[in-house]
Amino acid sequence: MSISSKTRKILWARSGNKCAICRKALITNDKPTVIGAECHIISEKDKGPRGDSKAKFNHNGYDNLILLCMNHHKIIDDNEDKYTVNKLIEIKNKHEAWVFAKLKENNKYSPFILPRIVSGQELSKVLSKVHFYNFINEDFENDKEAELIGNFFQNLQDWGDILPDLGVGDTIAAGQSLQKEIDEIKEDNFLLFGAVSKKSFKNLGIHDVATFSISKETSSNVVKWDELINELKNTDA
């Protein structure tokens, strides 16, 4: 299985078109040329860099990819003792946090750094994978909006606590219930974005974390993928 187009968009957008280590721009402006690499943190081949062919996850999924320049791609693969799995996850997380801060600082933060979730079944799959959550929202216009989204986020966490223990039938029913909740906030022009990523916790190891973002459909913060990449091309490190 190859890296999907959706995964590539998420990786490049969250990475801001920059190497996670040196933050060099990975698309040149003159006669645009891609000089970056979507690198595997854990190789699907046992003899590959940090290899583990028996790992039960998608080796070509977003969680197992880091965006690097060609030089640092070579450096991390030739220095496995220094660039361990945990170290690369840490580098990736810190870099994406830097990109997020830059976008927010320039009023260009977009929920499209996260993929949009429109299906209750898709949301159910995300929630069933995690025990840790990160919720992001814009400022609300009134108490009604705050209550609506506050209840929505609380319901997501409640569903996440019970979904791993549900059978197939109950899981399908949960997806239908979640679809109604997504449709409910959509009636008030709110869009849901979210994804699962791996985070390294001190004394707890590596765990999956679900990050959810809510934004108004009309919000200036909702930026298209191509606009987001163009804004980031010339962002100084």
**Token pair for residue 137?**
């929202």
Task: Map 62-94 to HEC letters.
Answer: HHHEEEEEHHHHHHHHHCCCCCCHHHHHHHHHH
Question: 126 and 156 in contact (C-beta within 8 Å)?
Answer: no
Q: Which two tokens stand for residue 149?
A: 């989204």
Residue 96 · residue 62 · CB < 8 Å: no
Which pLDDT score, from 0 to 100, does residue 232 have?
Answer: 45
**Residue 190: other Cβ atoms inside 10 A:** 20
Per-residue confidence (pLDDT) for residue 112, from 0 to 100: 43
Identity of the amino acid at 164: P
Q: Tens place of pLDDT for every residue, the chain, 237 residues?
A: 688 888 888 888 888 889 999 998 887 766 667 888 899 999 988 888 998 878 777 888 888 999 999 999 999 999 999 999 989 988 998 888 788 777 665 544 444 456 778 889 889 988 988 888 888 887 788 999 999 999 999 999 999 989 988 888 898 999 999 999 999 999 998 988 888 877 777 777 788 888 888 888 776 555 444 454 454 444 443
pLDDT for 75: 95
Count other C-beta atoms under 10 Å from residue 236's C-beta.
6
* Residues listed for the chain: 237
Q: What is the pLDDT of residue 195?
A: 80
Cα 125 from Cα 142, distance rounded (Å) = 31
Nearest-10 crossing angle of helices 143-162, 120-127: 60
Show Cβ contacts of residue 122 under 8 Å, excluding neighbours closer than 6 positions: none
pLDDT at 134: 84
Q: What's the pTM value of the predicted model, to 2 decimals?
A: 0.52
* Alpha-carbon Rg for the chain in angstroms: 19
Q: 186: Cβ–Cβ under 8 A, 6 or more apart, which residues?
A: none
**Tokens standing for residue 16:** 């801001």
